[in-house]
Amino acid sequence: MGLGLHGGGLESARYLAERGAEVTVTDLRDETVLAPSIEKLSALPIRYVLGRHETDDFKRADMVVKNPGVRPDSPYLQAARRVETDISIFLADSPARLTAVTGSKGKSSTASAIHWAMAEAYKNNTVPGNPKAHLGGNITVSPLVFLDSLREEDDVVLELSSWQLGDLAGRLKPGSPGEALLKPRAAVITAIMPDHLDRYGTMDAYVADKKIIYRGQDGRDCTVAGDDSWGKEFLSETKARPLVYSGSPLPGGVSGGWLSGENGPGYVRFPGKAAAEAVPPELLTPGYHQKKNLLAAAVALGDLGFEPDTIRDALGRFPGIPHRLEFFLEAGGVRFYNDSAATIPEAAAAAVYAFEKPPILVTGGTDKNLDFTPLANAAASAGDVILLAGTGSEKLMGLLRRDNTPFRGPFDSAEGAAKAALDRAEKGDTVVFSPGCTSFGMFLNEFDRGNRWKEAVRRLAGA
């Protein structure tokens, strides 16, 4: 249910069809929109019901595999005998050590950094058992892709959204009485901010799904969270070892990690061991929030047994990931960044503050019932503000006018916004595309949005 374009539905269909299941794929979008995914499944005997759902398909199926974006109270799911996701199918059979990462913002960067450091440590094949590291989940790679190749020696890092976690609530692992289906050896929770309130209604309901990441843990595991009010709540509730990451030195006896100022290194400290540098002062991706994400990664890696020197060296080489403050072009002395994965106002505000010289900010899009005050405050210190059209931009414009912050637009295409940015930018400037809004309406998703921004800038800049 929900083939989509991100790979989760596609890989679920492929995985089950290749094992002899009779597979029906149903999606409210039609074959034109879904053509890339359908083409990748063309060699398999799959039945398609597109542009609609049929209740009888759900009643007759032995198992329905849902897209995480489908609300659990869907009447179609109510008709199903059994509901799974690609994540639940994976967790039921995976033998590997699991690290799970969630949060409102920073989870993709943190999960990717953990995976990067593991892969760097393993690439010389000096670790007993020759383990391998794998990355999947909400980061657009279904873990079903690598399930068949996993061994007990391997590491899996899963980025999990609140929706994916919600689908795992109360689930137990088959063949392991009383053990939760989701029981990560390390659970990492990045910054919690208002998000998806159009679906959840309240922060408490939203955060309740986030908490599922540690509900199945025990004293053999660790939970890594920040020192803000949400983080303190998580660490007080978990049955795993609580490890805190902070922007300030930790009190004696508290295990975890901290940053030595915005421009300094990050340290980790565990019971019986002295503090050690694990995050270098200079990173390839700018911003204090990025350094804090990598600190959270370092704390988890340290608890998993990686040495601080190994962690520090690997994180110093971490290149970042697409659509998260991604540097992609320098033209005419102007540096261009793509931060399309910034889908909430606080994330776009953090992008503005990530640069020493105020950047030209391209922002805006569709609202999801969020407060745009943090983005309006940050925009006041930007070099210039260029808006994409959308309901979120309409809310933001009111705040910008209130604060006498000038802006250009709104523009109804990535190309229009890119042209305005190129017209405005001068040698030595930085242009950052950080929408702070959801992508629905003008784009298929935030990845399509980021790719179209990069294409437009490259084309207009003659690169």
Which of these, 354, 339, 407, 352, lies nearest to 382 by C-alpha position? 352
Are 327 and 353 spatial neighbours (Cβ–Cβ below 8 Å)?
no
Calculate mean pLDDT across residues 235-239.
98
Q: For residue 56, what are the domain limits?
A: 8-84
* 139 and 30 part of one domain: no
pLDDT tens, residue by residue, 101-146: 999 989 999 999 999 999 999 987 667 789 999 999 998 899 999 9
pLDDT at 125: 62
Q: Is the pLDDT of residue 335 over 90?
A: yes
- b/e code 51-86 from CB counts within 10 Å (16+ = b): eebeeebbeebeebbbbbebeeebebeebbeebbbb
Residue 160 lies in a domain: yes
Which of these, 344, 359, 414, lies nearest to 198 by C-alpha position? 344
Can you tell me the distance from the alpha carbon of 307 to that of 268, in angstroms, rounded to the nearest whole number?
10
Residue 3 lies in a domain: no
CATH number of the domain that residue 374 is part of: 3.90.190.20
Residue 292 lies in a domain: yes
Strand (E) or helix (H) holding 430: strand 430-433
- Give 69's pLDDT tier (boundaries 50, 70, 90): confident
Q: Is the pLDDT of residue 5 over 80?
A: no
* 395 and 307 part of one domain: no
Can you tell me the distance from the alpha carbon of 422 to that of 420, in angstroms, rounded to the nearest whole number?
6
Residue 1 lies in a domain: no
Say what angle helices 446-461 and 414-424 make with each other, to 10 degrees: 50
Say which residue, 8 or 344, is predicted with more confidence.
344
Calculate mean pLDDT across residues 54-71.
95
* 80 and 123 part of one domain: no
Q: Which parts of 216-366 fold into alpha helices (H)?
A: 229-237, 288-303, 308-316, 345-353
Say what angle helices 288-303 and 308-316 make with each other, to 10 degrees: 150
Residue 235 lies in a domain: yes
pLDDT at 385: 98
* 173 and 278 part of one domain: yes
- Give 286's pLDDT tier (boundaries 50, 70, 90): confident
* 330 and 297 part of one domain: no
Q: Report how many domains make up the chain.
A: 3
* 193 and 276 part of one domain: yes
Are 432 and 362 spatial neighbours (Cβ–Cβ below 8 Å)?
yes
Sign for the pseudo-dihedral over CA of 52, 58, 61, 62: positive
* 43 and 102 part of one domain: no
User: Any idea which residue has 């006896």 for tokens?
Assistant: 253
Residue 437 lies in a domain: yes
* 342 and 437 part of one domain: yes
* 264 and 397 part of one domain: no
pLDDT at 261: 87
- Give 321's pLDDT tier (boundaries 50, 70, 90): confident
Q: Which of 316, 347, 378 is the endpoint of a domain?
A: 316
pLDDT tens, residue by residue, 39-50: 999 999 999 999
* 201 and 72 part of one domain: no
Q: Is the pLDDT of residue 388 over 70?
A: yes
Q: Name the 3-class secondary structure at 48.
A: strand
| CB-count exposure of residue 172 (10 Å: 0-12, 13-18, 19+) | middle
* 34 and 48 part of one domain: yes
Q: Which of 292, 316, 340 is the endpoint of a domain?
A: 316
Q: Which of 29, 54, 84 is the endpoint of a domain?
A: 84
CATH number of the domain that residue 17 is part of: 3.40.50.720
Q: What's the chain's average pLDDT?
A: 94
Calculate mean pLDDT across residues 237-255.
97
Residue 321 lies in a domain: no
Can you tell me the distance from the alpha carbon of 365 to that of 401, in angstroms, rounded to the nearest whole number?
17
Which residues contact residue 166 at a Cβ distance below 8 angstroms, ignoring those fewer than 6 apart? 72, 209, 212
Say which residue, 324 or 221, is predicted with more confidence.
221
Are 7 and 140 spatial neighbours (Cβ–Cβ below 8 Å)?
yes
Poorest-pLDDT segment among 118-127, 311-320, 338-347:
118-127
CATH number of the domain that residue 226 is part of: 3.40.1190.10
* 307 and 279 part of one domain: yes
Residue 194 lies in a domain: yes
Say which residue, 356 or 340, is predicted with more confidence.
340
List strands edge to edge, sheet with 186-189. 133-137, 155-159, 97-102, 186-189, 222-226, 241-246, 256-259, 266-269, 276-279
pLDDT tens, residue by residue, 7-28: 779 999 999 999 999 999 999 9
Distance (Å) of CA 321 to CA 106, 116, 337, 424: 11, 11, 12, 27
pLDDT tens, residue by residue, 389-434: 999 999 999 999 999 999 999 999 999 999 999 999 999 999 999 9
Can you tell me the distance from the alpha carbon of 291 to that of 259, in angstroms, rounded to the nearest whole number?
8
Q: What percent of the chain has pLDDT over 70?
A: 99
